[in-house]
Amino acid sequence: MNFAALNLWGRTSRFWYEAYQLAAELTPTLPRSEVSANLSTIWNKMQQMARGEWIEFNGRQYPPLYTPRNATLIERLGISEDEQRQLKTIIGKDLSRERDAARKREKRAETGAASREEYEANSLSRRKPWDALGMSRASWYQNGRPSP
C-alpha cells in the first residue's frame, strides 16, 4: 500500500478504497477494521505528504512515505532486464550507465566530436610518425614532434 500511496500522491480520498480493494484480493477474510489498523501509519504519512510536509535527510528532501530504491523495486516486482529496457525510471545501475554513456556519445556527436573509431584511426599512436624518421617515440616527442 505504500507504493499505492506514493502513486496516489495528494489524492487521499482514494486511499481507503484502494486499500480495501487490495486487501479483499489478497486476504478476503481480513476484516476492514484490521485493514484500517494495519495501514494507519501509511495513512498518516500520506496525509503529511498531502499537506506538503517533507523529511530532510542528509541535506535532501524526501516524502514522508518510504520511497524504495530502484534495486528494491526491481527485486520485489521481479522486473527483468528486457522489461527495464521498456521503462524510463525503474532501471538497474548497469542499464543506467549504458543509457548515460549513449546520451554522452550523442551529445559529443552533436558538437562535432569524432567517433571513437575515427579518433583512433587518425591518432598519432596509429600513424607512428616517429617510425618514418627512424627514431623512438620518446625521441620524437623530445625533439618537438618533427614532421617526416
Domain ranges of the chain: 1-67, 70-113, 114-148
Q: What is the pLDDT along the chain (148 residues), one digit of tens a residue?
A: 777 777 776 567 777 888 888 888 888 888 888 888 888 888 888 888 888 888 888 998 888 887 788 999 899 889 999 999 999 989 999 999 999 999 999 999 999 988 888 888 888 888 899 998 999 999 999 999 888 7
**CA gap 39, 31 in Å, rounded:** 13
**CA gap 129, 146 in Å, rounded:** 9
How many CB atoms within 10 Å of residue 5?
Answer: 26
Q: Where are the beta strands (DSSP E) in 1-148?
A: 55-57, 60-62
Cell for 81?
532486464
Predicted structure pTM score: 0.51
Single out the residue of 30, 61, 29, 33 nearest to residue 48, CA to CA: 61
**CA gap 11, 18 in Å, rounded:** 11
